[in-house]
């Protein structure tokens, strides 16, 4: 029997232990691979040499402990030490204090709805890699290293919010090695997206495609900086393992693309690319487990949901609330009559937009804003096009009759406090 959900167009995916694209990266201690010196036989001062050897071991253990503490500290991505001679804050408050630029500069984040021919991996890398940058945020005593993607020729870059979180300065390196000081445009922690700006001329901007065109099994690629700057520009490949996967991470639910393309620390903010060379997602987390090894479970923010978020950040400096439809629907389309399929309305909120438009429980939504409805995600995608105060047209089926209705979207979706999902193993 279909599970009922009292919230509006909500699906729940229950799986423990998703984390941002962060793993522990331990490097060998300096000199750890050097062969031990041959023992020197001395009859005198043997006790002194034993004492000095023990003292040296204690000192090395203390130094190793400090180094490992720094390497194993929870990073935003990968961490490296800043020059200690520079005066920088030592407390990471979590706030982004990178020098900022104002919103409302007329910049738009745009998706390409069509595509060309399928490209080989070599051509995809040649086209996209110049648009992939290394993002380095100063956190005080350490540095967060992630990835970003240039999306305008004048230097706007999209990355993950958690890469910049707590940062006071930010530098961006192109694949050519050119370095730029970045300014902060805007960001949103809940959606884990942020926009930076560098001052370059005719920079290589990536083409962003529509993630809604993806299907399970499609070939995808990832480019990023796994484990920081040492392996920057690494290409990995895989397939789309699932779409519209609801994943619980850091006390929030994110609807993501699932892929088995290898993602590691430093890949955060990097592109997930379709077989046509278009960026269709921003890599954000991978699944881990405390109990067993987990492989091939990476996740990316789909461009279809990014489009509204990034444009809100560019225009307003913050996310604008989505309008409330005032209806709940079943997850997948059902047959209303012979040859007629739509989303069955499960409930209608009294005095909501749907109720005032005349929608009733048991109606079938055939189309919204001209788009056919096959899943609840289709309705969510259409809703993202609208703002509070807009009007949305819908086509519904009721008792053998097709009706056209218009919803006046006067109310905003309220942010509900997130609660941890119940896990069924």
> Is pLDDT above 90 for 2?
no
- Provide mean pLDDT across the span 202-208: 96
Give this prediction's pTM: 0.74
Q: Sign of torsion, CA 66 72 75 80?
A: positive
pLDDT of the residue at 60: 59
Max CA separation in the chain (angstroms): 106
Alpha carbons 168 and 139: distance in angstroms, whole number: 6
The catalytic site residues sit at 162, 192, 268
pLDDT category at 301 given cuts 50, 70, 90 is very high
pLDDT of the residue at 145: 93
Residue 176 DSSP code: T
Q: DSSP string of 379-400?
A: HHHHHTT--TT-EEEEEEEETT
pLDDT in tens, 391-404: 999 999 999 999 99
pLDDT of the residue at 231: 84
> Is pLDDT above 60 for 76?
no
pLDDT of the residue at 46: 55
Range ranked top by mean pLDDT from 113-117, 118-122, 380-384, 421-425: 118-122
pLDDT of the residue at 41: 43
> Is pLDDT above 70 for 139?
yes
pLDDT of the residue at 90: 33
- Provide mean pLDDT across the span 143-165: 96
Alpha carbons 216 and 45: distance in angstroms, whole number: 72
Q: Mean pLDDT over all residues of the chain?
A: 81
For 346-365, letters b (16+ CB in 10 Å) and e give bebbeebbbbbbebeeebbb
* Residue scoring higher pLDDT (124 or 90): 124
Q: DSSP string of 211-269?
A: GGG--TT-EEEEEE-TTSGGGTTEEEEEEEEEEEEEEEETTEEEEEEEE-S---TT-TT
pLDDT of the residue at 20: 60
- Provide mean pLDDT across the span 80-102: 58
pLDDT category at 173 given cuts 50, 70, 90 is very high
């Amino acid at each position: 029997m279909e599970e009922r959900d009292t919230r509006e167009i909500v699906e729940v995916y229950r799986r423990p232990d998703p984390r941002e694209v962060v793993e522990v990266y331990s490097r060998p201690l300096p000199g750890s691979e050097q062969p031990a010196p041959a023992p020197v036989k001395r009859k005198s001062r043997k006790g002194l040499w034993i004492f000095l050897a023990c003292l040296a071991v204690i000192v090395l253990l203390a130094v190793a402990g400090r180094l490992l503490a720094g390497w194993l500290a929870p990073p935003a991505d990968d961490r490296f030490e800043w020059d200690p001679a520079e005066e920088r804050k030592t407390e990471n408050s979590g706030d982004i204090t990178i020098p900022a630029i104002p919103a409302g500069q007329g910049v738009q984040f745009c998706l390409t709805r069509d595509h060309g021919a399928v490209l080989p991996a070599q051509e995809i890398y040649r086209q996209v890699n110049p648009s992939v940058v290394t993002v380095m945020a100063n956190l005080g005593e350490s540095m967060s290293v992630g990835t970003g993607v240039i999306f305008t020729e004048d230097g706007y870059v999209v990355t993950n919010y958690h890469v910049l979180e707590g940062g006071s300065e930010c530098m961006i390196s192109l694949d050519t090695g050119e370095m730029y000081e970045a300014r902060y445009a805007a960001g949103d922690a809940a959606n884990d997206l942020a926009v930076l700006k560098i001052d370059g001329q005719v920079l290589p901007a990536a083409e962003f495609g529509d993630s809604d065109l993806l299907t399970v099994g499609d070939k995808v690629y990832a480019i990023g900086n796994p484990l920081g700057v040492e392996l920057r520009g690494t290409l990995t490949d895989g397939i789309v393992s699932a779409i519209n996967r609801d994943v619980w991470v850091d006390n929030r639910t994110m609807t993501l693309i699932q892929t088995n393309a290898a993602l590691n620390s430093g890949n955060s903010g990097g592109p997930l690319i379709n077989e046509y060379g278009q960026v269709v997602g921003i890599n954000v987390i991978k699944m881990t487990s405390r109990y067993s090894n987990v492989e091939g479970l990476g996740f990316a923010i789909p461009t279809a949901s990014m489009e509204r978020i990034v444009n809100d950040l560019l225009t307003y400096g913050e996310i604008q609330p989505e309008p409330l439809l005032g209806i709940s629907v079943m997850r997948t389309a059902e047959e209303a009559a012979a040859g007629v399929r739509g989303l069955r309305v499960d409930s209608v909120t009294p005095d909501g937009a749907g109720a005032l438009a005349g929608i009733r429980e048991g109606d079938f939504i055939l189309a919204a804003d001209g788009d056919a409805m096959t899943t609840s995600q289709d309705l969510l995608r259409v809703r993202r096009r609208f703002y509070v105060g807009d009007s949305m047209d819908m086509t519904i089926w009721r008792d053998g009759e097709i009706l056209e209705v218009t919803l006046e979207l006067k109310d905003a979706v309220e942010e509900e406090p997130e609660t941890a999902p119940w896990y069924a193993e």
